[in-house]
């Protein structure tokens, strides 16, 4: 049993992992609960990020119990090197696309071998075994072009009383922010972008959400009224002249 083991994510998980599926919940709730602001540490090699918190990632641990279901069993803090070793296949893919440095492979291998007290041959064997496991999962979970497994995000899922915004709600916010240079003020908050508004709205309860959306729309409409009044006044002045 390795201290740090490889666990390559199958391709069908690409759109299903929580980090991508629900970015605002991930950024506002999940990641902060796993990676503290001060001195976050890797749960495997104990590396502590003293200055740069980004060196510690929040890693999703998935289980694949049956061919129709996947379960998020844990989210744990991992340093960059442990994380790259865990999903070494992803690192290789990113190197091929020019998104990661090729020299990273030897750094990650040294980290893995040092931590597990194993040889480079052991590393290569572990890579081959992890690829085999990934291929096996992709075979077991293959449904053709359409379809994906049922996903259980467990206790990491977004709470039921703060669901993601609906398409209609997103459209309302998008319209409010369209062609806008000035922030929208709601209470003490100053919302500069559509994304910041969505993030906030998805972190409050449904009741607060509808009140905030109404306040956003009211703020924008009042602004429009002012513009109309100024325009009318200008036209009047022009008319008089
Ligand atoms: Zn580590």
38-66 residue pLDDT tens: 999 999 999 999 999 999 999 999 999 98
Q: How confident is the model at residue 241 (pLDDT cuts 50, 70, 90)?
A: very low
Q: Taking ligand 1, which is a single-atom ion, which protein residues have CB atoms under 5 Å away? A: 42, 44-45, 47, 79, 82
Distance 191 CA to ligand 1 centre (A): 37
pTM for the predicted model, two decimal places? 0.76
Q: Which residues of 147-184 are buried (b: 16+ CB within 10 A; e: fewer)?
A: eebebebeebebeeebebbeeebeeebeebbeeeeeeb
Distance 9 CA to ligand 1 centre (A): 18
């Amino acid at each position: 049993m390795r201290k740090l083991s490889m666990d390559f994510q199958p391709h069908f998980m690409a759109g299903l992992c929580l980090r991508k599926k629900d970015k605002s919940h991930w950024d506002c709730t999940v990641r902060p609960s796993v990676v503290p602001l001060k001195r976050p540490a890797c749960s495997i090699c104990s590396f502590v990020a003293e200055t740069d918190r980004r060196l510690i990632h929040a890693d999703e641990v998935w289980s694949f119990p049956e061919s129709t279901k996947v379960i998020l069993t844990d989210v744990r803090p991992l340093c960059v090197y442990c994380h790259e070793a865990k999903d070494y296949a992803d690192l290789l893919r990113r190197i091929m696309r020019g998104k990661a440095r090729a020299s990273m492979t030897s750094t990650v291998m040294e980290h893995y071998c040092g931590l597990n007290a194993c040889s480079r041959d052991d590393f290569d064997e572990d890579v081959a075994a992890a690829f085999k496991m990934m291929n096996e999962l992709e075979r077991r979970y293959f449904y053709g072009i359409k379809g994906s497994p049922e996903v259980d995000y467990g206790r990491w899922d977004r709470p039921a009383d703060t669901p993601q915004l609906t398409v209609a709600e997103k459209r309302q916010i998008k319209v409010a922010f369209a062609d806008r240079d000035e922030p929208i003020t709601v209470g003490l908050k100053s919302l500069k972008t559509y994304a910041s508004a969505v993030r906030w709205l998805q972190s409050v309860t449904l009741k607060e959400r509808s009140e905030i959306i109404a306040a956003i729309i009211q703020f924008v409409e009042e602004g429009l009224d002012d513009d109309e009044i100024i325009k009318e006044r200008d036209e009047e002045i022009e008319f008089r002249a």
